[in-house]
Amino acid sequence: MKQILGDNQFFGVNHNDIDKGDKTKDIFSDNKTIISFIDASMDVGLSGFMMNSNLRGYDITNSVSKAYKGEIHYSVPYPHKFASMVNEGGMSMLLKYVFSKSSFRSIFLHFPTFLITGNIKYILPLILDLEIPKNLKNGSFVYLQNIVTDLLLGLKRYDLLESFCKSLIAKGYSPGLITLNPLLLDKVISKFDSNLQSQLITCFNINKDGFNVFPSLNEVEGLIFKESLYKKMGMSIMSSGGASNIQESLHYIKKLPLDYVVYGSSNLKNIKTNYDCLK
């Protein structure tokens, strides 16, 4: 089970204690401090880090050296940015932004097909060009945020999920899908070709307390033990900071056959304790 450093503490995200989240955000007030903390966590033994594609996350990931030997797990898109564009100026504003930032070659290859078919899957490569840092090394993992993954699941646009994954593979990255509905996603992925499945990773909530674990803890446990071609990553493993007993939570996770877990902390000592318990 590989252990990945999460990024919630860097941006003040704490689902159980807003005040604590604000304090950790103050600790990591500049990008240099965040990068130093990532390096220190890798020295502890973690396999890599996960970063959201907000403006700071983009800059931090883009600044990581090509010589960096750890894994990079990067999630796109940053929904608030694109939602604001659509709310302020409609789809025309979003398309204008995409075209102004995309290369002529990328527009030439994909936009005409979008115009002919009206299928949004043909502008996915353009959006990926905007969201993925230019310096992101090949072989990194790029995830679709759960707000988009689960929306597409609800709309039954499984073709867009498949197109997202294939577009990433074509760019030299490993595709990932973050979801709050891992059982439904599993059914969808099982219909992808085996080569695509073997390159894919899914990320979903799992913790001893059953906090935000859907549809139920027992069903998600069953999915984890189910053999699959794709990799599985557990997130919110300590109930998003609200675990009643950290050690019991970690021992519970250690018994599960997950390929990855992702967790964060603003305290390097806690990172080491968690790592030693899970390794």
Separation of alpha carbons 172 and 34, rounded Å: 26
Q: Do 162 and 193 meet the contact criterion of CB atoms below 8 Å apart? A: no
pLDDT in tens, 121-177: 666 777 787 789 989 999 999 999 999 999 999 999 999 999 999 999 999 999 999
How many other CB atoms sit within 10 Å of the CB of residue 228? Answer: 16
Residue 79 is predicted with a pLDDT of 67
Unique residue bearing structure tokens 């502008």:
123
Residue that has been written with the tokens 């929306």 in this structure: 151
Residue 267 lies in domain:
7-46+260-279
Q: Do 148 and 226 have their domain in common? A: yes
Residues 147 and 228 in one domain: yes
Residues 150 and 219 in one domain: yes
pLDDT value at residue 22:
60
Assigned token pair, 167:
């577009």
Angle at alpha carbon of residue 117, lines to 166 and 105, rounded to 5°: 60
Low-confidence ranges of the chain (pLDDT < 50): none
Q: According to the model, what pLDDT value does residue 12 have?
A: 78
Whether 92 is in a domain gets the answer no
Query: Residue 199 domain-assigned?
Result: yes
| Domain presence at residue 146 | yes
Q: Structural domain tally of the chain?
A: 2
Residues 106 and 126 sit within 8 Å (Cβ to Cβ): yes
Residues 275 and 226 in one domain: no
